[in-house]
Amino acid sequence: MSFRSRLAWFFVAALVAVQVLTAVLVYGVTRHQLIGEGQRQLDVAARAFARQLDDLSDRVAASVQVLSLDFALRSAIAQRDRDTVLSALANHGRRVGATQMLLVGLDGRVEADTAGRFAQGARFPYADLAERALQHPAAAVVAWRGQANWMVVVPVFAPDLVGFIAAAIPVDDRLLARLQAQSALPREVELATLEDGRWKAIAHGIGGGTLTRELATRGARLPTQPQLVDVDGRESVVQAVPLSRSQRSAPVVAVLGYSVDDALRPYRSVGTAWAGLLAFGLLVGLACAWLVARSVSRPVEQLAASARRIEAGDYGPVEADVRGDELGALAAAFGNMAQAIRVREAHILHQAGHDPTTGLPNRGAAEAAIQRALATAPDAPAALLMVGLERAPEIVKTLGHGVGDRLMRDVGLRLRAPAGAGLVARATDSQFAVFLPQAVRQDAVATAMRIVEALSDPYREADFSLDLTPAVGIALAPQHGREAGTLLRRAEVALIAALGNDEPVAVYDAATDPHRPERLSLMGDLQHAIGHDALALHYQPKLHLASGRIDGAEGLVRWEHPQLGALPPDAFIGLAEETGNIRRLTRWVLASGIAQAARWHAAGQPIRVSLNVSARDLEDAELPRRVSGLLAAHGLPAERIALEITESALMRDPDAALPVLRRLAEQGIELSIDDFGVGQSSFAYLRRLPVRELKIDRAFIAPLAQSREDRTIVRSIVELAHHLDYRVTAEGVEDRAGLDYLASIGCDHVQGFLVASPMAVPVFDAFFAEGAWPHGATA
C-alpha cells in the first residue's frame, strides 16, 4: 500500500475510531442502566409475588377454617361417616378452587381424599404442616408428581381436636397468569422444583419462557439475587424466589426473568440512524483525507523513487518538485547524501578488494578472480604461486609495522616484472599470490625462479639492510585442483614444504600434505573404531636382565583398517592428538590394557603392563579417578600396571601435569618417563616428579655397538638413575652386542626386536610360557 493510501486510511481510521468509541460508550452506558433497572424491577416483583401468595394463603385458610366449623362435618367425622365427609369436602373444595381436599386423622393418616390420590389409612406426607396448623392455619407450596400445589392445613375441633382438613390448590400456568395480570410481575415467570438434583420448570406465566431449562442444562445454579445470564442467546436478568414449603416436599422456587434484549429493542432505531450518520461521515472524511494525503505524499513518493534508484546503484540527481518547505529541504539533503554515498561506495569497493598497504588485490578479490578464470577455461593449464618471506614476521617484531609495511610495498613492486601478465595479490601478512593462466609446470617453475631472483637483493633503508629469504610454493591446475580455494591452500602447503626443506621452490605433493581430506576421513574412522572396539593392543615383552625372565610388557595400539589394512601408530596417534581425540583413545587403551593385566594376574602370571598416556591426558584432572575406577572394577592391584609419559609431554606444562602424576603415584601406580634423553628435562627437575623408571630412547640404544659416545651417555644415565633410585629400561635393543653392554652396566630391563616384537595376546601367552628368554641373558 502506498504512503498516500496509508495516510488517507489513517485519517479515516481515526474518524472511525472516534465514532465507534462514541457508539460503544453510549451503548455500554445504556445497557448498564437497563440492566440496573431490570435488577430493581425484579427485586420489587419478587416481593410482590411473595405478598400475592401470602394473600392467597390467607383467603384459602379462612375459607377452609369455616368448613372446619361446620357442625354436620364435625358430626360426620366423629361418627366416621366417610361418605358424608367426602361430600362436604368436595363441595367446599369447589368453592375455594381446590382440586383435592383431604381429612387427616390425629394419627397422621389420610381418612378421606376427594381426589383419590391417597388410599384410606395412608400416611399424610406433610405432617409438619399439621403440627404448624395447631398454632394457626399452615400453608406451603408442595411439589407432587411434576405439579405444584398450594397446600393449606387447618385443625378440626369437636370440641376436642379430631383431625385436620387439607386443601390443595394448584399453582399452575393459569394461576401464574392471573397473578401477573393483578400485579407488575415480569412477563417471564416460572415455578421450578428440584428433581434428581436438577431444577425443572413445573409452571409458566403468560410469557412462557425457558429460564429454568437453560440454566439447568448448563449446570448453573438458580440465582437468589438478580443476576445477568444468557438464555437462548438473549441476555436476561434472572432471580429465583424460594417459596414456603413443607419439610417433606422438594423445594419450589419462582424464577423471574427480565429480558435486557427486549429492553434494548426501542434503541435500535437510534443505532440505525447512528450507523447511517457514521457511513456518511466516513465518505466525507475519506474524500478529504485523500486530498490532504495527495498533497503530502507526492514529494515523498518522488524521494522513494530516487531511493530505489540509489538502491539499484544509480546515484544520479534526485528528481523532486522544487518546494520551499521542509520536504524541499529533505529533497536537497537527499541529493547530497546520494552523491556522498556514490563517492564512499567507490572507495569501499576498492578497499574491500585491495590491500591498503601495497594497493594489490587482497586474498578475497584474488580468489574470486582466479575462480572466474578457472570457470572460463576449466581444463586449461594454470599455475598459482605462493610467495613467502621467511623472515617477514621477525622483521615486523624487531623493527615494527612501519618497516614491515614499507617492505611489503617494495616486494609488491618487485613481483610485477617476473609475474608479467599474471595476477599479483597479497594473500597474507607475509605471503603474496601470483596466478599464471595458461602456464604449465615448467613455466611456473621458471617464473618462480625469476621471483626468487628478484627478491634476492636485500631490502635497504638508510641505516639497515635486510635479506628477505624468499621461497615459492606452486600448485598447478587442473592437476592439484579446479577451485581457487583449493589451489591457494595447496600452494601454501607447497610453500611450507619449501621453507621447511630450505629450498627456494617447491611444487605441491599430495603425499606430504598433512591437511589432505583423507586424514579427516581417517579420524572419523578412528572414532568409529574406538566406539566399536575395533582396535587391538599388542604387547612387547620387557626382559628383566638380572633374572633373564619376562616380567613386563608394553601395550601398543594396533589398528587393522577395513580399507587401508594394518596402520602403524604413527599414522593415527599424531592425528588423534591434533584433533583432540587422544583422550578417547587413551581411555580405550586404559580399559583394554587393565582388563588384560587383570586376566594375567588372575592366571598367576607376574606381568606388569605398561600403558602410554599423552600430554593432553596429563591435563585431565579426572585421569586418576578413571584409572582407579578401572582397577577397582577388575580387582587389579595398582602395582600390576605402569603408565608411561614421554619426556616432551612432561615438559609441555609441568605445573599442570605434576598434581595429576602425584595423585596417580599415591594410588600405587608406577610412573615411567618414556623416550628419556631426547627432551630438555634434567635430573634436578625429575626429582620433583613421582616417577620410578626411566626408559632410554632408542636413538641412544641402536648405535651402542658402533658409538663410543652413545655408550658413555647411556652408562652415565644408568649410573645416575640408580643413584636416584630409578629403574632403567633400554628401548630399541636390536643386537646382542648392545644387550651385552646394557647388562654389563647394570641396566634393569631391555625392550626391542632382539627380545621380541609386539605380539597379540595369544602369541604373547605362548612366548611367556617358555620361561626364561630363549637366548639367555648376560648377568
Q: Quick check: is 438 in a domain?
A: yes
pLDDT at site 240:
77
Lowest mean pLDDT among 144-148, 187-191, 288-292: 288-292
User: In this predicted model, what pLDDT tens digit does every residue of 97-126 receive, in sequence order?
Assistant: 888 888 888 888 888 888 888 878 888 888
pLDDT of 289 above 60: yes
Q: Quick check: is 542 in a domain?
A: yes
Q: How many angstroms separate the CA atoms of 672 and 651, rounded?
A: 14
Q: Quick check: is 388 in a domain?
A: yes
Sign of the alpha-carbon dihedral angle for 763, 768, 774, 779: positive
Amino acid found at 251:
P
pLDDT of 129 above 90: no
Q: Quick check: is 777 in a domain?
A: no
For residues 683 and 742, membership in a common domain is answered with yes
pLDDT at site 114:
87
Q: How many residues does the chain have?
A: 779
Percent of the chain beyond pLDDT 90? 31
For residues 78 and 143, membership in a common domain is answered with yes
For residues 587 and 717, membership in a common domain is answered with yes
pLDDT of 776 above 50: no
The CB density around residue 203, as the number of other CB atoms within 10 Å, is: 22
pLDDT at site 667:
94
Q: How many angstroms separate the CA atoms of 475 and 200, rounded?
A: 98
pLDDT of 320 above 90: no
For residues 412 and 302, membership in a common domain is answered with no
CATH number for position 407 = 3.30.70.270
Q: What is the 3-state secondary structure (H, E, C) of 52-85?
A: HHHHHHHHHHHHHHHHHCCHHHHHHHHHCCHHHH
pLDDT of 95 above 90: no
Of the segments 239-253, 289-303, 365-379, which one has the largest average pLDDT value? 365-379
pLDDT at site 778:
42
pLDDT of 256 above 80: no
For the entire predicted model, the pTM comes to: 0.47
For residues 66 and 191, membership in a common domain is answered with yes
Q: What is the 3-state secondary structure (H, E, C) of 351-380?
A: HHHECCCCCCECHHHHHHHHHHHHHHCCCC
For residues 504 and 616, membership in a common domain is answered with no
Q: Quick check: is 331 in a domain?
A: no
Question: Which grid coordinates are listed for 373?
Answer: 578464470
Strand ranges in 394-490 using DSSP code E only, listed in sequence order: 423-428, 431-437, 459-461, 464-466, 470-477
Q: Quick check: is 323 in a domain?
A: no
50: enclosing H helix or E strand: helix 3-68
CATH number for position 36 = 3.30.450.20
Q: Residue 145 — very low, low, confident or very high, per pLDDT cuts 50/70/90?
A: confident
Helix-, strand-, coil-residue percentages of the chain, each rounded to 5: 50, 25, 25
For residues 58 and 38, membership in a common domain is answered with yes
User: In this predicted model, what pLDDT tens digit does every residue of 544-595 receive, in sequence order?
Assistant: 999 989 999 999 999 998 888 888 887 788 778 777 788 999 999 999 999 9
For the CA atoms of 477, 479, 482, 486, the dihedral, rounded to the nearest 10 degrees, stands at: -90
Q: What angle do CA 763, 764, 765 make, to 5 degrees?
A: 90
Lowest mean pLDDT among 390-399, 479-488, 511-520, 734-743: 511-520
Q: Quick check: is 517 in a domain?
A: no
Lowest mean pLDDT among 286-295, 492-501, 695-704: 286-295
pLDDT at site 430:
87
User: In this predicted model, what pLDDT tens digit does every residue of 275-285 receive, in sequence order?
Assistant: 777 777 777 77
pLDDT at site 220:
53
For residues 302 and 395, membership in a common domain is answered with no
| 226 vs 753, more confident | 753
CATH number for position 727 = 3.20.20.450
For residues 148 and 249, membership in a common domain is answered with yes
pLDDT at site 138:
84
pLDDT of 777 above 50: no
pLDDT of 211 above 90: no
Among 376, 372, 764, 384, smallest CA distance to 607 is for 764
pLDDT at site 215:
65
Looking at 278, 310, 342, which one is the last position of a domain?
Answer: 310
The overall average pLDDT reported for the chain is: 83
Chain Cα centroid distance, residue 234: 48
The boundaries of the domain holding residue 51 are: 26-259
For residues 664 and 714, membership in a common domain is answered with yes
For residues 274 and 243, membership in a common domain is answered with no
pLDDT of 779 above 60: no
pLDDT of 608 above 50: yes
Q: How many angstroms separate the CA atoms of 403 and 395, rounded?
A: 8
For residues 236 and 375, membership in a common domain is answered with no
Lowest mean pLDDT among 27-31, 150-154, 516-520: 516-520
Sign of the alpha-carbon dihedral angle for 747, 752, 753, 759: positive
Q: How many angstroms separate the CA atoms of 642 and 664, rounded?
A: 10
pLDDT at site 442:
94
Question: Which grid coordinates are listed for 249?
Answer: 416436599
Q: Residue 373 — very low, low, confident or very high, per pLDDT cuts 50/70/90?
A: very high
Chain Cα centroid distance, residue 396: 48
pLDDT at site 684:
63
Q: Residue 59 — very low, low, confident or very high, per pLDDT cuts 50/70/90?
A: confident
Lowest mean pLDDT among 664-668, 721-725, 770-774: 770-774
Q: Which residues contact 567 (CB under 8 A, 6 or more apart)?
A: 559, 560, 561
Residue 666 and residue 660 in contact, taking contact as beta carbons nearer than 8 Å: no
Residue 408 and residue 426 in contact, taking contact as beta carbons nearer than 8 Å: yes
Q: Quick check: is 562 in a domain?
A: no
pLDDT at site 376:
92
Q: Count how many domains the chain has.
A: 4
Q: Which residues contact 408 (CB under 8 A, 6 or more apart)?
A: 357, 358, 392, 426
